[in-house]
Each structure stands twice: as C-alpha cells, then as structure tokens.
A = this chain, B = another copy of it.
Amino acid sequence: MANLADKIELYLKDMLGRTADGFVVLQRGTLAHIFSCAPSQINYVLTTRFTVDRGYLVESRRGGGGYVRIVRLGLETEGNFRHIMSELIGEEVAPERCRQIIARLEEEEVLTKRECALILGIMAENTLAAFTAHPRRLRAALLKEVLTTVCRDDLNPDD
C-alpha cells in the first residue's frame, strides 16, 4: 500500500479535508516535483482516484498560469443521489420520469424553482429528439450532469 499513487491520493485528500472551500487548486508540475515523479503520474492519480463515481470533479487549464482544480462532491448528499446516479448510468429516462425526479429535487429543496424550470426546458422531448435517436439516453446523461453539479461543494457554501 506504499505506492506512489496512494501517497499522492492521500496527500490530495488531506488538502481537501483541510479546506472549507470544497476545492483545492494546484499545479501538476509542482506536485510532480514534490513527489519526484513524472507529471503524467498526477494524471493517473486523478483519473483513477478522483472520479465522479468516487465523489470528485477535476477541472484544469493549460498554458501559463495553468492549474488543476479538484472539487469535492458533497458526501452528505451522497446517500440520496448516489442511488439515483447509479440508476441513470447507461439507462434511459422518459420525459415523465424526468419531471418526477426534478419535482422531487425541488421538494427536497435541492433545486430552486427557477433551476427546475431551466432544466425541464432543456430536457424537453422536442429539442432532444430532433438531434438523436435516443433522446431518453441523452436525457439520462444530462440528468447525471445536473446531479453531479448539484453535489459540488464549491457551489454550496455551508454557512
């Protein structure tokens, strides 16, 4: 259990644990230097340990002033949404079921009324069906994105 990837994972999770912002920003090169490894090793850690399934989101930017940003997806909501999430993977969501899910999220005050309206507008059958033969699958994929975003700790200041 003493391999590099695990150490880097621990290091990053420790950082995430210490901050109240719900995210950390770092430089790939710098981190690689700290652990005396190839920069691509950092990518390996990120893609294997900091996935959406495991409750993390990674954003980055190249070029001068580039960075890697790791966002924590709320654990408290995990119980509720992990279930729905897994249901959505590789599945289809009919318009009616979509409305139900969104309505429930509004009832639970996870989404505001306006956010629900925005999402439902986007999920409309007409629009999606005009672009794909599998609108229900696309809807499932989009819904997954929505749930992921909703869990982002950097957007929900816990005050």
Contact = CB atoms under 8 A, between A and B. Distances in A.
Interface residues of A, number: 34
A101 interface: no
Interface in A19-65: 63-65
A122 interface: yes
Nearest to A111: B118
A117 B152 contact: yes
Contact of A121 (B63, B130, B149): B149
A78 interface: no
A121 B148 contact: yes
Task: Specify how many copies of this chain sit in the oligomer.
Answer: 2
Interface stretch (A10-18, A80-88, A139-147): A139-147
Interface in A121-159: 121-122, 124, 127, 130-132, 134, 137-138, 141-142, 145-146, 148-150, 152, 155-156
A6 B65 contact: yes
A68 interface: no
Given A5-B65, A114-B115, A118-B118, 11 more contacts: A3-B64, A114-B156, A115-B115, A117-B149, A118-B146, A119-B122, A121-B148, A122-B142, A122-B145, A127-B145, A131-B138
Q: Which 8 residue pairs spanning A and B have beta carbons closest together?
A: A3-B65, A121-B145, A121-B149, A131-B132, A131-B138, A2-B65, A114-B155, A3-B64
